Chain A
Amino acid sequence: MSAAAPDTRPVEPIHYRYFMNLGPQHPSTHGVLRVVIGLYGEYVLSIEPVIGYGHRMHEKMAQSRPWPAFLPNTARMDYACCLPHQQCFVSLIEAHAGISVPPRAEYIRVITVELNRIASHLLWLGAFLLDLGEFTPILYCFDDREQALDILEDITGSRITHCYFRPGGVLRDITENHAALIRAFISRMRDRFSVYRRLVTDNIIFIKRTRDIGVITPDMARRYGATGPVVRGSGIGYDLRKHRPYSVYRDIAFEVPVGARGDCFDRYAVRVEEMRQSLHIIEQALDRLPQGRYRAPVPRRIPLPAGERSFSVEGARGEVTYYLVADGSDTPYRLKVRSPCFSNLSLLPELCEGMLLADLIATLGSLDLVIPEIDR
């Protein structure tokens, strides 16, 4: 399976070109995404992503209610990894209204966000391999993901759409029992990486399907604003946790894995290594978890002073930015949500032109798209 169409392609008579809809309901689009593909045999001549099927206008909702009522919405954009979205929104409000957060709360936030990141990467890993026709790994991934979700459910009260962060802290404290469960999960996960290596990384079929397929150059990443593992696979170590540390990431030691070639395999390798780093982060945060309040006393109604502000965090898929314009009331005048998948998907037409259809599926899977986050 080669990456590009041969140059000896005959001049294309128009009736040989046909169009095919990938989606809006298709297992490999991971949501309601439609991609209109122009094909010449098995070769992809044009790609046009069509989005908006899951549009709910979260930004309008944010502008029509007091900001605490928007907290549940932040969990309903990137459903696979919602806590970074919530952390971003809450941190933005805290910075704007001048609310201070107790250190214990910041550590609890980091622990839960990283658990969420691992759960999200596991979901991606299983689904990505399913796209490539490998059915077995998703069973292992979901087994591991269940363990993380069970812990998150115990802490936050919900399995997927966690609404756990509050301005000034978190909803509930984590207990010794939670810490023990998380430590057990960490040691379990560490043993599992060798299973994934034997099952996936060393699998010759997987390597043939992903090596040198869908190469994103640093220049292309820059022109489209790609972030997250998509850009780190191309050798650019852009991770906001290191780049402009927020919360307590400055005090925690971890590495930002990067790829060398920018192909589907590198994006896979980066995400697997990120899971390992997240375990390392969680372990340090548990070791250092300070005693004290988990939530600062905050008045019920907090008006937002007039002015603009933005806050960025590193989600599982890249840079999440919330941009706020306030007018002095407690309802945001304007709230913009910058979702990483939006920019990551926009490079698909340029990236996949001339590819084989099967490689397009591999590349689409390697971008780790969550469509409700794009549609908002």
Chain B
Amino acid sequence: MQDDSDHIIADVRGLCLSAAREEDAARGWQVLLTAAPAAVADIAGKLRAHDFFLSFITAVHADPGCELVYQFCHYARPLRVHLRVSAPQGQPVPSLAAVYQGAAWHEREIRDFFGIAFAGHPGLKPLILTREDIGRNPLLKHGALRKRREELFTE
């Protein structure tokens, strides 16, 4: 398993800002990656070539902006890859829908809840919320509720 994660890390390291094996086994994932938004689709492409599937995408609103979180899993090997990306404010993030078609729904949900746009998405319309709710973004945090990124993500 250790060799497996080293193999994955070696393959995607060039595309990431950081790529490391997770030391805390109870953390929920074995590989922790951080990357720039522009590299997301390429990293996903590499992981797909390694037969990973996309478990989910979500976002966390912090100061100064949203963090996107992607988790990839493997059907045969007990490996979970956790990818974190800082979304630029007011700019779209590349969509994963061309690599993982299942990403399309996750991205529509994130647009509903956080107002993040995805470039190259096949149909970015509301999924959970409705057309009238566009721009409401219920999971954005305001005022004192919003914490700085460094307070939440320790590494």
Confirm or deny: A188 has a beta carbon within 8 angstroms of a beta carbon on chain B: no
Footprint of A on B, CB under 8 Å?
26-29, 48, 51-56, 58, 60-61, 69, 71, 73, 75-76, 78, 80, 82, 100-102, 104-105, 113, 126-130, 138-139, 147, 151-154
Q: In the complex, what's the smallest C-beta–C-beta distance from A347 to chain B, in angstroms?
A: 7
B152 touches A222 (CB 8 A): no
* Interface size band for A: 35 or more
Contacts of A32 in B (CB 8 A): none
A55 touches B129 (CB 8 A): yes
Given A307-B154, A338-B56, answer yes or no on A312-B28 (Cβ-Cβ < 8 Å): yes
Given A57-B138, A310-B28, answer yes or no on A327-B129 (Cβ-Cβ < 8 Å): no
Footprint of B on A, CB under 8 Å?
51-52, 55, 57, 59-60, 63, 95, 218, 221-226, 231, 236, 238, 243-244, 306-312, 319, 321, 323, 325-328, 333-334, 336, 338, 342-343, 346-347, 350, 375-376
Give 5 new A-B contacts, CB below 8 A, not counting A306-B151, A375-B128.
Answer: A60-B139, A238-B76, A311-B28, A321-B28, A334-B139
**Which of A225, A243, A334 is the one whose CB lies under 8 Å from B60?**
A334
A323 touches B101 (CB 8 A): no
**Which of B48, B102, B147 is the one whose CB lies under 8 Å from A346?**
B102
A contact patch SS: mixed
Contacts of B56 in A (CB 8 A): 225, 321, 323, 336, 338, 343
B75 touches A238 (CB 8 A): yes
Please give me the residue from chain B that is nearest to A92 by CB atom. Answer: B28
A225 touches B128 (CB 8 A): no
A52 touches B73 (CB 8 A): no
**Which of B48, B78, B127, B151 is the one whose CB lies under 8 Å from A327?**
B151
